[in-house]
Amino acid sequence: MRSDAARSRQLVPLEEQDQIALVAWFDLAYPALRGRLAASSAGARMRPRTAKRQKAAGMRAGFPDLCLLTPRKGFSGLIIELKRLKGGHLEPEQADWLEWLARQGFMAVICKGFEAAKATIEDYLREEQGGENA
């Protein structure tokens, strides 16, 4: 029989599950921006040979999970480091990227779970004077 802690962990979606749901929601909610919320593969698990090739091709440790390169509210774009609702933690390389991107003019944030990321995107894309979403 599973412990309560094991059952609790099982109910919290994995970061990847939240990210898949978030991208699907975004593409439906913002059809004019469909496909513009882009993900990096920096956190993906891959074979050592593939990882070596990807690193040589420009994949960098700690690069944020999601990028929406749409200027809004004085920012150049929205950068999201998505974490699991419970248990996710920020790695030093991730913090470094977020700090650097913020200095470059991006809104660079950490979101814990689908709902936090969804609310962040909605707020970021909400027009000040009730304009369109694209």
User: What residue ranges define each of the domains in the chain, with the CATH number in brackets?
Assistant: 12-125 (3.40.1350.10)
**Ordered per-residue pLDDT tens for the chain, 134 residues:** 555 555 555 688 899 999 999 999 999 999 999 999 999 876 677 788 888 888 888 888 899 999 999 999 999 999 999 999 888 899 999 999 999 999 999 999 999 999 999 999 999 999 865 544 55
Identify the three-state secondary structure at position 98: helix
- Whether pTM > 0.85 for this model: the answer is no
Distance between CA atoms of 48 and 29, rounded to whole angstroms?
37
85 contacts: CB under 8 Å, gap ≥ 6: 12, 13, 18, 112, 113, 114
Distance between CA atoms of 111 and 15, rounded to whole angstroms?
10
Interhelix angle 15-29/114-125, rounded to 10 degrees, is 30
Instruction: Dig out the tokens for 105 from the structure.
Output: 């003019």
